[in-house]
Structure 1
Amino acid sequence: MTDSAESRADLHSHTTASDGRLTPYQLIAAAAQRGIRFLAVTDHDTTAAHDEARKSASEFGVGFIAGVEITCEAAGGEVHLLGLGVDSACERLQQLCREMQVRRLDRFKEMHARLQAAGVTFDLPPTQPGTSPSRPVMARALVAAGRAGSEDEAFARYLRKGRPGYVPHRREPVGTAIEAVQGAGGVAILAHPGLYPDGDAAIEDARRHGLDGIECLHPDHDEIHVQRYMKIARKHGMLVSGGADYHGPGHARSHFFGKRFCPADEFIRLQMAMAGRSSRTSL
């Protein structure tokens, strides 16, 4: 397999449109500074960053890949589905994103209400239309209000499962998410299966619904995970993806930005798949 670094293609990143710390412009500028040649912007349940990111990528000479990360359910648990090479204007995809954003906003408000009821008083963080409010945004608000010394502390005290501000996601079936991604001309990739209680079962469930590939290379995957998921991908003739899952400076994975890439030969396969899917859906 060709060295991952040769492609310089990072296929997983986030902006302030969801739970990232950088605006789309700042993210692209940071990618260019770190020598990233291709970057997929994959915010949670929204494509709101695409226009600014695409324009910024042109300015900085970075290849922009329109992406999204959809919160869904497979094998009875929460998983994330990456859509790569999607048409941001596809109404089917946008309808799903709007539905997910409404659920996220309801969840966001419920988290705040539960914290208020527990005596943790602070202002509800403002949200912008088309964006996806999340627990990291709530954690930053708790830190700003002096209710926690860091985002990690905010999660540990208030936002993790079993804590007073925790509210579970209302998830979309993985098959629905895959259909939306593929209907928008994109390829459907199961994100970081090593983070799920049973990644193999999640892959199999998603594969039965038409999954295109697996994110094998991720900062939270050690070499054993990488080789395991590469083997599964090859067994089923699936695509392989990889990226830093970058959320901005100060995040636990920040140092992987500019170091974690999709393997060059696998990126070529992904490019061909994205081009083929896009041409078929535009007919």
Structure 2
Amino acid sequence: MTPAALARAVEAAGVRVFSLTDHDTLAGYRELAAAGLPSGLTIVPGVEINALVTRDLGLWEGELHILGFGMDPWDEAFEAVLVSQRAARRTRFERTVELLREIGLPIDAQVATLEVGADDALGRPTIARALIAAKFASSVEDAFSRIIGHGSPGYVRREGIGPEAAIAAIAGAGGIPVLAHFREAPTRLDVMRELVAAGLRGLEVYYRSFDVAAIEAVSAAASSLGLIATGGSDYHGDLGPYADAHSALWVPPEVGERLLATLPR
């Protein structure tokens, strides 16, 4: 799905404040800015950085996902960080393709990148779709659970920057660093306090897989730490129509209003 098509789908679903947080790139935002914004939709520059945790904190895959909102999309220092992240993404992609070949699950790398066409969107979902095309998996979820997810035979660890560096890079470009879909926030206040000390300013409270109890607990954690609440669908374009993902997520209007009020002018 193109950024423009996603923006139209988001607007049709009734969203009024929207940020495209692709992994390690602002290319989608730049494309939207060049094409012109849909009427009635405020689009905020956004990005998602998968940050590596080098210490054993018992976190899934040893990663924390740091969102950035409101950065200067032309900041050269920040773009250099994203370029490095994308290079690491390309290396991981190539290593995964080779590992899959070694374990008897060869995929065509050209087929895998056919839809994305560039390093910007390279990632495990891309490989998952290639596994489906090769009849090695029945769905993206199946590919992750059996083949390329953490602990699976085709898993390759990510390389890249840590959460503190990601937070600093986002803040350095004028953005607001936010921790994404961290259900463990209420029970891992030790981790949260470290991130706040490093400059974290927000926590994703509303997330498509959070039930009411999780939202309330994560919201309480955000409030106790003085963090801005945000919401996200984690929609990747291969999970059905955006309207389906949107229907599983409700974000109060004041969440977007507060985010906009906090963004740099």
Asked if Structure 1 and Structure 2 have the same fold, meaning a TM-score greater than 0.5 normalized by the shorter chain, the answer is yes
Counterpart mapping for 1:71-110 below 5 A: 71-74=50-53, 76=57, 77-110=62-95
Task: Please point out which of 134, 154, 167 is paired with 2:143.
Answer: 154
Which sits farther off after the overlay, 69-78 or 40-49? 69-78
Shift of 1:79: 0.6
Matched with 1:176 is 165
Give the SS at the match of 1:172.
coil
Bigger drift between 50-59 and 159-168 goes to 50-59
In the aligned structure 2, how far is the partner of 1:271 from the partner of 1:63? 9
- Distance in 2 between the 1:251 and 1:78 partners? 26
The whole-number CA distance in structure 2 between the counterparts of 1:106 and 1:180 is 22
Task: Give the CA deviation at 1:176.
Answer: 0.9
Are the counterparts in 1 of residues 9 and 243 from structure 2 also a CA contact under 8 Å? no
Q: Do 1:50 and 1:66's aligned partners in 2 also have CA atoms closer than 8 Å? A: yes
Give the Å deviation of 1:259: 5.6
Distance 2:117 2:195 in 1: 32
Structure-1 residue corresponding to 2:11:
32
Distance 2:168 2:247 in 1: 31
* 2:44 is the counterpart of 1:65: yes
Distance in structure 1 (CA, Å) of the matches to 2:16 and 2:35: 13
Name the residue aligned to 1:235.
Answer: 224
1:134 is aligned to 2:119: no
Query: Does the 8 Å contact 2:15/2:41 carry over to 1?
Result: yes
Q: Is 1:111 equivalent to 2:111 in the alignment?
A: no
Q: CA deviation at 1:104?
A: 0.6
Q: Closer, same or farther in 2 for the Cα pair 1:101/1:58, shift >3 Å?
A: same
Of 163, 173, 177, the residue aligned with 2:152 is 163
Instruction: After TM superposition, give the deviation of residue 154 of structure 1 in Å.
Output: 2.0
Do the aligned partners of 1:72 and 1:177 also contact (CA within 8 Å) in 2? yes
How many residues are aligned here?
A: 255
Aligned counterpart, 1:10: none
Q: Which has the higher contact order (CA 8 A, sep 6+)?
A: 1
For residues 69 and 263 of structure 2, the distance between their equivalents in structure 1, rounded to whole angstroms, comes to 7
8 Å contact from structure 2 (residues 45, 71) kept in 1: yes
The runs of 5 or more residues in structure 1 that have no matched partner are 1-21
2:244 matches 1:263: no
* Offset, 1:140: 0.3
The equivalent residue for 1:207 is: 196
The aligned counterpart of 1:13 is none
User: Does structure 1 retain, via aligned residues, the 8 Å contact 2:90–2:119?
Assistant: no
Tell me the TM-score normalised to structure 2 length. Answer: 0.87
Q: Does 1:50 align with 2:39?
A: no
**CA-based RMSD:** 2.4
The residue type paired with residue 167 of structure 1 is V
**Match of 1:71, SS?**
strand
Q: Of 217, 226, 230, which aligns to 2:215? A: 226
**TM-score, normalization: structure 1?**
0.81
